[in-house]
Amino acid sequence: MRFRPCIDLHDGKVKQIVGATLESGSVAENFVSERSAGDYARLFAADGLSGGHVIMLGKGCEAAAAEALAAYPGGLQIGGGIRANNAADFLALGASHVIVTSAAFRDGSLSLDAIAEISEAIGAAHLVLDLSCVPTANGYRVAANRWKTVTDTEVTPAMLARLEPWCDEFLIHAVSVEGRKAGPDLALAALLATYAKNGKPVTYAGGIATIADLDAFAESSGGAVDYTIGSALDLYGGSLAYAALAARSATGK
């Protein structure tokens, strides 16, 4: 179980926002940093934290993203507006992987053709599928279109296994708790662990705000699922110590 750091970009700045408000016309900002994306990337590189995420939340983030990738070549993944026709450009800038969300869907449904198109363009070894989801009466359903559209695709171990040939990792945001610092979705963590124990790497995002939350997540996931933390981290205005998580990750806990 590894800590995957994140650099979320909005309007060209490093921010932490409540993701569900991104398209509301009034974005809820938890934190706006005075430090550059490159500053954070260099910190993560110094601490040996690979596999973190640079997420471009809307337009105007390309320069900041390029700065981060250049500061930690091969150490960061990038997502936000990634498609088959631009994915290779970000790999050339230094990303280890591209993270695909909306481009994996066509007509509101997960599309194997769309996924295959991107995978074939850059190679499955460089593709991360973001299947962020919400809990419903019919299981966890993938949310697309900046989390506004709940699709008919259910996140299950069998579904993740079917997608393995086209990607290298999965990133799962728990949309209902993302950015709210109110604790992780432990049921989702347990579900993901069922797949991750024998599948490809899975990173969970959403709600982890304290060491107690992290311990509960570790128990629910059996240590099989990686995690990322945003708003709760002291780097981003929260109280959870980044240094403690970096040290903990070095031990695999």
Give per-residue pLDDT as tens, 120-158: 999 999 999 999 899 999 899 998 777 777 888 899 999
- Average confidence (pLDDT) over 154-178: 92
How many Cα atoms within 13 Å fall on the side-chain side of residue 147? Answer: 21
Largest CA distance in the chain: 44
Q: Which residues contact 77 (CB under 8 A, 6 or more apart)?
A: 51, 52, 53, 54, 95, 96, 97, 98, 99, 128
Helices 186-196 and 211-221, interaxial angle, to 10°?
A: 40
CB 74 within 8 A of CB 41: no
- Mean pLDDT to the nearest integer, 198-215: 94
Bridge partner residues of 128 (DSSP): 99, 169
pLDDT band at 98, cuts 50/70/90?
very high
Q: How far is CA 163 from CA 10, 24, 93, 169, in A?
A: 30, 31, 26, 10
H or E stretch at 205 = strand 202-205
pLDDT band, very low/low/confident/very high, at 27 (cuts 50, 70, 90): low
Q: Which of 9-18, 84-93, 159-168, 228-237 has the lowest mean pLDDT?
A: 9-18
- pLDDT surpasses 70 at 60: yes
| DSSP summary character for residue 128 | E
Average pLDDT over residues 236-240: 92
